[in-house]
Structure formats: structure tokens, C-alpha cells
Amino acid sequence: MSDRVEDFLTHQAATRPHAPALTDSLGTRWTYAELDTAARAASDMLRRAGVRPQDRVLMLSENCAAAVALIFAAWHLDAIIVPVNARQTGPEVARIIAHAEPTVVVCTTAVSEDAVRHADGLGAEPVSGPFGNLHLARLDAAPAEAELVGVAVLLYTTGTTGDPKGVMLTHENLRFGGMASANFRAIVPEDVIYGVLPITHVFGLASVVTAACFAGAQIQLEPRFTAAKMFAAISKGVTLLSAVPQMHALLMQYTKEQGLETLGSDRLRYVSSGAAPLDPAWKRKAEGFYGVALQNGYGMTETTAGVSITANEIGSSDISTGPPLPGVELRIDESVQGGGAGSGEVLVRGPHVMRGYFRNTAETAKALDDDGWLRTGDLGRIDDTGNLHILGRSKELIIHGGFNVYPPEVEAALNDHPQVIQSAVIGQMVGGDEKIYAFVQVAEDTSLSVQSLQAFVQERLAGYKCPQQIILATSLPAAPTGKILKHKLLDAFPHAKVVAQKGATR
């Protein structure tokens, strides 16, 4: 049996050529045979541009059919795809280019104004074919490197500061991640997967694109999240919806503004939330809204997305991230400061764990030990049933007044308020102690005051966990995935539209 990811597509094109593969916002509708044809045409285009095995193909894109074709095109040449979200700035992209040394940069200019901006800056020229209309810039080819043999993708992690860290994921990693995701969700060819999570990030690439091609399902690609488009997609037949909590919250707010309390669908059968712990009250609210169980999961770029996931019935009180996926090992390093006995840093091992960081042996050695265990940097515990509970990032732990405060717990209390869309909590050193700062997104016409929200939280949290500063705003800085960028809150917030700002010290 082959160990290449592109064989998933080859198999679908050979056995189910007329089955729908994907649609996008440009009106593209490809069968699996048409996707395969587009990928092979793009592969020929890349070969003519000088791409060889182990060369890097950097793709500046937002979700579209052409981006999927380019990914498989690079793999047909045994090259490494380097997907980068086009919404990144010029300097951010320049640092990745300098580190990855791609032979070509391809921009999906038909779907992204930001890709057009990058193409202009790179002096890229138009190319077209069955794959669509793109722009391509040729760069000086770097030599092949032994550590890239068998690598399928280089992913530069969201929020990286300083020198870029390129996560090397192999074909084995992606095959395992895609198959595990498809099997666990019981994806079948009749499914329609909503593809709004960027395929330039690990979840969109592994758990949407790779999983769909393995199972032969259809992907409905969207370049950017809007609650209105997600609302319409669910209403028109999407069966699987995976999103981050911020997207769920904004969709529920949008639906409420349309005069509806729920968003029922005869076709929607699977909804999941990731990137943040669940709160019981919010989980019940979401399940009532969708009419199906809300599943939770845990993963990261270095683990090809999935580590653990739930398979709960609707109404379950379980707010864990579930047991490890089959073939995945978990353990807790209690020597790392956690929340008491049985908690500590989450360690992961399995066929989904990255090869390492490209050209960065020092950081690879810090993350991976000789036995293959990956240090995730996340704090967690494993309960008596074997389910993993994530307490938060070890670097985000707030020590206030000598007590450990986990931001997800505070955020869950804030998010319980019916007028709160989403929130983000960080620590800030003030006068020798870390103070708890809460940034809370509310609607434009909110009647919520800081004082009433403080009183609301005080009924739900111990005094030392309550924020000393609550800032209400109509928007919070977010990554293309929808994940709130906590490291940008203090700098970016003064430029946000503030509804109210007032602190109270307890």
C-alpha cells in the first residue's frame, strides 16, 4: 500500500470520477476527476517553472479550488507545499520565504485581494489552466535537504514570534490524520463538509481536505468566515461543521439578529468545536441551537491536528476533549506546574507527531525527546475514564495573589452571559503581581455594563479568579482561523471600537 497522500485523490478519480469533490466561492464545481485533472495540470505548470523533488512550493492563498489543486500538484512532483494565508503581512511573508527558500511562490489571486497584493510585491506573472487563474513568481532554487525526504508540508505556526518555525509534517502524518478524522466522524461520500477553516492551517488541511479526499466526500470551500455565509450553508445542506468557538458564537448572534433562536437542519449531523475548552452552559446552548451534539477535540499543528476527540450524545455533561484517537498515546508530566495532583504538561506520541522543525534542531530537541514524546506546552489532566481535559497553555497560566488562574475557566464564566459573544483573558504584571485582564466582545447595541458583568462573574468564580480589568469591545483581533490573537490584545485594542472601559480591583 502506498504511503503518499495524493493517492487518496488518485483513488477517488479512478473509482468515482463523477462524484462531487468541491465547490468554492468563485462558482467552481469540480468532480473528483476534474480535481485530479486540475492537480495534474498544475503539476505540469510547476515542473515547467523548475520545481523538483524536495523543492518548496510556497502558496499564498485563501480557501478555493485552485489551492487544493496546487497542494496535490506539489505532491505529484514529490515537492513540499508551504501553505501561507494570504492575509499575513508583507514582512511576515518575507520572513517565511527567507526561511523556507521556496523555488516558486504561487498566489491565488482570483479569490484574494491580499494574494493580489503579495503577487504585485513579488513581481509574479499570471498563469492559467484547468486549475484556474493564478500568479507565479520564480525564485532562486535552494538545494534539496535530507530532512525533507518524505515531508509533505511545511506549516508555519500561527502567532510565531522571532524566527519562524516550520513544522515538518510527512505523508505518513497527513495520511494518519486524515484517515483518523474521517473514520472518527464516520464521513461518507454523501457528506458535505463546510470548509471555512483555512486550508493553510493544519485543521483545514488534515481534517477537512485530506479527510474528505480519503472518504470521497464533498467540500464547500469559503475563503473567509462570515456568519451569514455559514448560516446559508447550513440551511442549504452542509452535513459536517467544524469551527472554533468564536465562529459558533458569532453564528448564534447572527441567527438571533434574524429573529431566530435555533438553526435546525435535516441534513446537519455533526458539529464540533476546537481550540478552546468547553463550558457546560455554553455547550447546552450550542446543542439547543444546532439540534445535534457538540463534539470537542484537541490538537495542534505539531500533531497533524487531532490528538483526542469526543463522541458524546446530545445533552452529555462531558466537557473534556475526549479520549486519544486510536493509535495515539497520552501522558501527563506532573513536574510541570499545573492545577494540582494529576495535572501537568500534556505529552503526546504517535504516527501523527511531526518530524520536527525545519532547519531548527535546537527547537526540535526541546519539543521531541528520544522516545518520540512531544511536549505540547499545554496543561491538562486525564480523568478516570481516560478523557483528556485541557487546562490551558502553560505560558498563559496567570499567577494572581499566589493562586493559579487558568484563562479558559475565566473565559467560560464570561461567555455564560447571554450578551457576551466571546472573550479573551490574559495576565498583565502590575506592581509585582499578575492582574487578570478580560477583553469581551459584545454586539454594537449592547446594554451590558462592566459593573453588571463583574457582578455576573463574581457569582461564578472564586474572588481570586475574577478579572481586575474588563474591557468591552465590538471586535477582538483574530487570526484567519477565527482564533483570538491574545498576544495582540494589548497593542491592538486601543484601535478597536470601545463600548466601555472601566476596571475594578478586588
Q: Does residue 364 sit in the same domain as residue 287?
A: yes
Pull the grid cell for residue 378: 499545554
List the one residue out of 255, 200, 203, 246 whose CA is nearest residue 225: 246
Give a yes or no: residue 195 inside a domain.
no
Given a contact cutoff of 8 angstroms between Cβ atoms, the answer to whether 56 and 80 are in contact is: yes
Are both 282 and 318 inside the same structural domain? yes
462 and 388 in a common domain: no
Q: Which residue has the cell 464564566?
A: 413
Do residues 344 and 241 share a domain?
yes
In terms of domains, do 156 and 12 share one?
yes
Residues of the chain short of pLDDT 70, as ranges, are: 1-2, 158-163, 275-277, 337-340, 394, 401-404, 431-432, 481, 492-506
User: Is the residue at 38 inside a domain?
Assistant: yes
Q: Are residues 261 and 156 in the same domain?
A: no
Q: Please state the separation of Cα 234 from the chain's center in Å.
A: 20
Both 327 and 435 in a single domain? Answer: no
361: buried, middle or exposed (CB in 10 Å: 19+, 13-18, 0-12)? exposed
Q: What is the CATH number of the domain that holds 441?
A: 3.30.300.30
**373 and 230 within one domain:** yes
**Amino acid identity for residue 42 in this structure:** A
Is 60 a domain residue?
yes
Residue 130's alpha-carbon distances to 36, 124, 127, 422, 504, in angstroms, are: 10, 19, 11, 42, 60
Domain boundary among 374, 395, 416: 395
Domain containing residue 138:
6-19+28-170
Q: Flag whether 444 is in a domain.
A: yes
Give the Cα separation of 385 and 317 in Å (integer): 14
Q: Is 421 helix (H, G, I), strand (E, B) or coil?
A: strand
Residue 206 resides in a domain: no
Q: Is 204 left (phi over 0), alpha (psi -120 to 50) or beta?
A: alpha
How many domains would you assign to the chain?
Answer: 3
CATH of residue 276's domain is: 3.40.50.12780
Nearest alpha carbon to residue 86 among 66, 65, 109: 109
Residues 258 and 312 placed together within one structural domain of the fold: yes
| Residue 406 and residue 273 share a domain | no
Domain boundary residue, one of 347, 363, 395: 395
Q: Are residues 244 and 386 in the same domain?
A: yes
> Rounded CA gap, 406 and 425, in Å?
9
**How far is residue 378 from each of residues 239, 348, 382, measured CA to CA in Å?**
31, 11, 13
The backbone torsions φ and ψ at residue 77, rounded to the nearest 5 degrees and listed phi first, read -95, 5
Work out whether strand 294-300 and strand 270-273 pair parallel, antiparallel, or are unpaired.
parallel
- Nine-digit cell string for 13: 478519480
Any idea of the CA torsion for 405, 410, 412, 413, to the nearest 10 degrees? 130
Alpha carbons within 13 angstroms on the beta-carbon side of residue 94 total 5
**What is the tens place of the pLDDT at every residue in 281-326?**
888 989 999 999 999 999 989 999 889 999 999 999 999 999 999 9
Q: Is residue 421 included in any domain, yes or no? A: yes
291: buried, middle or exposed (CB in 10 Å: 19+, 13-18, 0-12)? Answer: middle
The owner of cell 497520552 is 330
For residue range 225-245, list pLDDT tens digits in order: 999 999 999 999 999 999 887
Last residue of a domain, one of 395, 413, 447: 395
Please check whether residues 433 and 297 belong to one and the same domain: no
User: pTM of the full predicted structure?
Assistant: 0.83
Within 10 Å of residue 262's Cβ, how many Cβ atoms? 12
492 domain-assigned: yes
Has residue 480 been placed in a domain? yes
Q: Which candidate, 264, 241, 240, 243, places its Cα nearest to that of 188?
A: 240
Query: What is the model's pLDDT at position 339?
Result: 53
